[in-house]
A and B are shown apart, each in its own frame.
Chain A
Amino acid sequence: MRGGQSYVSCPPSFSNDGNRLLVGCGNSVAIFSTATALQVSSLEGHTSTVTSVVVVPGSNILNYCWTSSLDGTIRYWDFSLFECIKKIDLNLPIFSMVIPSLLSTPEESSGKKKNVYAYVCMQTENGKDNKPKLCTAQIRKCNLTNYNKLSKLTLKETKRPQPLTISPCGNFLGIKDKRKLHIWKIPKVDSDSAVAKKITLHHTKTFSVLAFHPTERIVAAGDVTGRILIFRGFGAQNFQENGELLNRTSMTDEECKPGVRENDDAESCSTWHWHSSGVNLLSFSSDGVYLYSGGKEGVLVFWQLDTGKKKFLPRIGSPLQYFIDSPDPAFSSISCADNQIHIFKISSMEIMRSISGIKPPLSSQEICESISSQAAFDCTSGLVAVQTENYGIQFYSLFANRGLYEVQVCERNYQPVDEVTVVVTMVELSVDGSMMGTVEVKLPEEGIGGLICLKLWNLDSDTKRFSVSTLIYEPHRDAHISAIAFHPTRHMAVSSSYGGDFKIWVCREETQQKGQTHQNFSWMCHAVGNKAMRAAAFSADGSVLAIAADTVITLWDPDKNELIAVVGETPSPIGRLIFVGKSDNLLSVSHGSTPQLSVWSMSKLAASWSYRLEIEAVSCALDLSYFAVIALLPKSNERVFKGDGIILVFKATDPTPIASWSVTKAKGGSIAFLKGNPSELADGKSSQTLLAYLNGDREYVLFDPYDKEARELNMTMQDDLLGVEDNGGLSLLLLLFFRSSF
């Protein structure tokens, strides 16, 4: 079971009746209902990322679409029946595809069926000479109706793949290439050999996006500095055909072309400047009266094309990517960089619904020393809580593959263009999922005014949402918090700091008043040392608290605040501690120059076994004595394992792994054992523990670590983005290599 894909990797597309939204989502096309913003179904078949979705226009009952993918195929689907009708294999990754002939209205219905041509931006073929090519992408034409091979004709070669833009009536095709716009006029009667006429428009800045006017010869282009250029009457000279009558001024007065660079073929060029940084989104309204633009600042700007007057839809809260008009004039969709697609009403300029994907990881990893990108899992309900850029926590259902809700941790408005000064650095959930702890850090300005704030949240049993119960300013003076751990059964939390102390927070009493519980937290005790405390963990019954003090593990009685024992010594500081299920084994992970994964026996108070592995994340099953780790592999081994990381499942007493899978994008990943999906239980499957792996890009996969079939299944999907793959034999070799000597 996979999920967490990006919904904004390519522009989405509305169905003809406007009830469905087709979103390229990883290797499939997800079909959402615009009325509920829930996923209806998906089109499966592509083996790599889908790069464009083109719905065949027509009447409402027509439900066909073309899709292109990086796997080098173009497919034709009936998306009401969810089946693939046709598959064209171009063998080279396709970055973008447009089909102009679908848009131009067929003038004469001649008996002979016209060929449908697509223009694709694809990777260049490797020439016979194995010279490294300057240009990696080319724009080619492709006959979709009866495909034999690609036409020889190459319109353009570019260094980097550029998205193709087509005019709404299908006459023009354009790309941006650095400081130039290339525009082709598509021949009326297209054939393999028909050559499109081309003009080029120049600018002094790098273009970022372009859009064509639906009826007139106007092209709008945005650049990286936030300017929008409107070229009117482009191609008046070059695209003029003999039979065509232009109701424009004659070509004779060439001297009055305001704003147009010397030899460019356009009648005038005007510049609008509102955006402070690059323009990502440009789109004309379907009647051509308005131009929509958007950029990093998360504000959708409505320009009146004739007057240049502006209206705004502010505070969308994330950089905008694509704007798609629906056939239904009431609403449109905006795709945002934070993996959300908003369906919004143009008339009232308000967002009606949001399709919410998992939010991308924080971009500001380096800004704060104590930041932890680890997501928190709620094992029983299959939720994952991830930090978001807008100072919140998103709760994402792994089983349903959609965002449930968000809580705002820090009451601030988020502006994507602003410098980051407040970060939610940590989120932790208790075992039963009823409590949450978050840490937010306000960064100081030149050393003054920094603030660390620990918040404890309670789950409201009615609404199933978290609300703040306790707010603690500067819990460890100005030292950053390194870990939060919750008592498995009681209302008790522990926070440890790099400043060398830890505090136990106890919910004092619950006074029932007017049917609502008031909880008072009081910190019970703290222990101080001069070593940085980097990790904390409760044992399964909550009787022992383990705190990592630099390189040793200290064991405490959380009720009496007494030191029970000090265990062992690792070569480098311990960064993570976890008790393995109900067994008396403790797992420690240390990073640094000599990374180590060690298992300590609590009955003997000594190390049982250890590996010299760089561990990214660990998780243990609640009621089992198994645990899973993500180990990062050294660069030299990446080839062998087809990934940069490996998931290993161990039994606590045995240093030989039970199972292993190699994965990609393991850096920043997290792992967790989840209780089986309740919906699957109904199907008669046993309630089994699932392993969830969330990679660095927050895509995830759920699988059963004990099921043999699942492992074989994973074998077949090795070229996949997540690339979960079983390789028991290899990993054993590897582990032997990393085995520490005792």
Chain B
Amino acid sequence: MEETRTKTFPVKPKLKTKPRTQQQTPESKYWSSFKTQQIPKQFPIHSITYSPTPPHSFVAANSTSLHIFNSKTLSETSQITSFTDTVACSSFRNDGRLLAASDLSGLIQVYDFNERRRLRRLKSHTRPVRFVHYPRHDKLHLISGGDDALVKYWDVAEATQIHQFNGHKDYVRCGDSSPVNSDTFVTGSYDHIVKLWDVRVRDSSKSAMDFNHGCPVEDVVFLPSGGMIATAGGNSVKLWDIIGGGKLLYSMESHNKTVTSICVGKIGKDSGDESNQYRILSVGLDGYFKVFDYGSMKVTHSMRFPAPLVSLSYSPDCSTRVIGASNGMIYASKRKVKVDENEKQIVASEGSSIWRIRPLESTEKKVLKTTDFRYFQRGQGEKPSEGDYLVMRPKKVKLAAHDKLLNKFRHGDALVCVLEGKNPGHVVAVMEELVSRKKLLRCVSDLDLEKLELLLAFLHKYCTVPKYSSLLMGLANKVIEMRAEDIRASETLKKHIRNLKSTVEAEIRIQQSLQEIQGIISPLLRIAGRR
């Protein structure tokens, strides 16, 4: 009772109806929290690779050069340009110090990433090499696959080929190594087959396991458990169980065109149910980027880019996501991260330990004197202790300018004030409030010409909007009736009236055509209802 008595009620626009579609889920909110930045390049971006070590720089292959980007600022830091042909693929060693890259001439080169110096040239493939990969737990070897349908296993230090697997019958375009085992890896080929290889098996044509994807395989990844792989090809992404003997678990077919690249990403959110869960991210030529939850077998997020997408990578620290398009555009997205209070403190303490900002002698409290202005503020920043009884200051009601004017009964000013604003909902709310005070027509008759122009412009714009029309149509009539002489006298006002008239005529036409449609439909509905 007491609360209601002392309340002031600001005027509120009418509530809008809730949309029937589902609200954004926390997960899709997470994925759309990445802010995308466009980095234009000339040629298609066939490959994007993240460094496995912080600060997780990423490398994008564009024509005959590799562009190295800082993932914090999403700016290009340097290039590696010593290629003779288009770069097709690149891969970091697991410590991030070496980078292997292959090009369409069939040459594989290994660079020192920090100095961008070439260390080794691995030459054996005769056709373009589209796949080169450092095994996850192996610093010495390299896997590559080329359009000559051969998969090779290299000793990097010696720059020699240790082994060659020749089971594929078409271009080998992709592959991945097991995250749990340094000896097994998979490769995918345009002969629709994904093969699981074991380097310990020396029989060169015998794979450990085969998976038939059904389409030319564009990409294949191991899921973090190492027991499953995901393959992309055609319009589908398929999940296979390796431990279960190569069984097809699920086929995700929500892309409309060929899926070109997939990768595994972690939801790097600290709170929420979904935090630290893995998702399969996929991009396709249809321009869609999709997030697939392989736990519940559902596509949880989907967003569209304006170009066919060919490559995708997601940073291991979950902060950035880079998508390469066939028109040379790099869509680099970065997530806004709120720095935790704890982290801030840690950073601060680190900073102080380095810089020694905090002088030790000032810990003694100075006695404040009245000459110090802080004397008058003492105790204001005091934090309440646990047992203290808190006397809360009553919350201040924030009132908009029109509410303040309404509270002072300056009705005309309130109307003008809200008309000058942009929000039609508020204008209508103020008008309704004036109606309930029986002051609206009085306000309208007292408006001077400039303000009347504002009102007419508003009426022209909104009087046919269904939400407001019940009030505004009546008001428009009244305004024209009451201010006819002023309108006749002024040329600008006449123009507004002409605009208003054309809007109303357009609305009438719409209504007529709607009625025609209703006339067509209602007999049908009646027949349907009779059954």
Taking Cβ atoms with an 8 Å cutoff, the residues of A that contact B are: 315-317, 351, 354, 356, 390, 392, 405-406, 408, 411-413, 418-419, 421-422, 442-451, 471, 473-474, 478, 520
Contact = CB atoms under 8 A, between A and B. Distances in A.
Contacts of A450: 435
A315 B437 contact: no
Interface residues of B, number: 26
B18 A520 contact: yes
Given A445-B438, A445-B440, A471 B4 contact: no
Contact of B1 (A405, A421, A443): A405
Contact of A413 (B9, B12, B14, B15): B9
Contact of B4 (A392, A421, A443): A392
**Residue among B8, B435, B474 with most chain A CB within 10 A:** B435
A471 B1 contact: no
Contacts of A418: 437
Contacts of B438: 419, 421, 445
Given A445-B438, A448-B475, A354 B9 contact: no
B440 A315 contact: no
19 contacts: A351-B2, A354-B1, A356-B1, A390-B4, A412-B9, A413-B9, A419-B438, A421-B435, A422-B436, A442-B436, A445-B436, A445-B441, A448-B440, A449-B471, A449-B475, A450-B435, A451-B432, A478-B470, A520-B18
B310 interface: no
B431 interface: yes
Given A445-B435, A449-B431, A449-B474, A315 B6 contact: yes
B437 A421 contact: yes
A543 B470 CA distance: 37
Contacts of B471: 448-449
Given A354-B2, A356-B1, 4 more contacts: A406-B1, A413-B9, A449-B432, A451-B432
B5 interface: yes
Contacts of A421: 435-438
Interface string B15-48: 1001000000000000000000000000000000
Contacts of A316: 5
User: 8 tightest A-B contacts by CB?
Assistant: A448-B474, A449-B435, A421-B436, A411-B9, A445-B435, A449-B471, A445-B438, A408-B4
B404 interface: no
Contacts of A447: 474
Contacts of A449: 431-432, 435-436, 440, 471, 474-475
Given A419-B438, A448-B478, A406 B4 contact: yes
B8 A444 contact: no
B117 to A, nearest CB: 56
Which of A317, A418, A442, A449: most chain B Cβ within 10 A? A449
Contacts of B435: 421, 442, 444-445, 448-450
Contacts of A448: 435, 440, 471, 474-475, 478
Contacts of B18: 520
A144 to B, nearest CB: 40
Contacts of A351: 2, 5
> Which of B8, B18, B470 has the most CB atoms of chain A within a 10 A radius of its CB?
B470
Contacts of B474: 447-449
Nearest to A392: B4
A442 B434 CA distance: 11
A473 B441 contact: no
Interface in B470-490: 470-471, 474-475, 478
Contacts of B437: 418, 421
Contacts of A451: 432
A151 to B, nearest CB: 47
A442 B432 contact: yes
B427 to A, nearest CB: 13
Contacts of A411: 9, 12
Nearest to A356: B1
Nearest to A315: B5
Interface string B253-297: 000000000000000000000000000000000000000000000
Nearest to B478: A448
Contacts of B6: 315
Nearest to A411: B9
Given A448-B471, A448-B474, A448-B475, A471 B436 contact: no
A356 B2 CA distance: 12
B472 to A, nearest CB: 9
A479 to B, nearest CB: 13
Task: Name which of A406, A418, A446, A520 has the most chain B CB atoms within 10 A of its CB.
Answer: A446
Contacts of A474: 470
B436 A412 contact: yes
Contacts of A446: 441, 478
A522 to B, nearest CB: 9
A418 B2 CA distance: 21
Contacts of B2: 351, 354
Contacts of B436: 412, 421-422, 442-443, 445, 449
Interface string B150-165: 0000000000000000
A40 to B, nearest CB: 21
A730 B8 CA distance: 56
Contacts of B440: 445, 448-449
Contacts of A445: 434-436, 438, 440-441
B48 to A, nearest CB: 38
Interface string B193-214: 0000000000000000000000
Contacts of A442: 432, 435-436
A724 to B, nearest CB: 31
A520 B5 CA distance: 31
Nearest to A442: B436
A361 B247 CA distance: 76
A394 B474 CA distance: 35
A294 to B, nearest CB: 15
Nearest to A352: B2
Given A411-B12, A445-B441, A448-B440, A317 B5 contact: yes
Nearest to A415: B437
Contact of A471 (B7, B15, B432): B15
A445 B15 CA distance: 22
Given A445-B441, A446-B478, A449-B471, A473 B14 contact: yes
Interface string B442-469: 0000000000000000000000000000
A346 to B, nearest CB: 16
Contacts of A413: 7-9
A339 to B, nearest CB: 13
Nearest to B471: A449
A478 B4 CA distance: 30
A450 B6 CA distance: 27
A579 to B, nearest CB: 27
Nearest to B8: A413
A48 B475 CA distance: 55
Contacts of A422: 436
A480 to B, nearest CB: 15
A268 B2 CA distance: 41
Nearest to A405: B1
A421 B431 CA distance: 14
B25 to A, nearest CB: 11
Contacts of B8: 413
B447 to A, nearest CB: 16
Contacts of A315: 5-6
Contacts of B9: 411-413
Interface centre among B5, B7, B440, by most A CB within 10 Å?
Answer: B5
The CB with the most chain B CB atoms within 10 A, among A411, A419, A422, A474, is that of A411
A451 B433 CA distance: 11
A422 B432 CA distance: 11
A612 to B, nearest CB: 39
A471 B434 CA distance: 22
Contacts of A354: 1-2
A175 to B, nearest CB: 34
B429 to A, nearest CB: 11
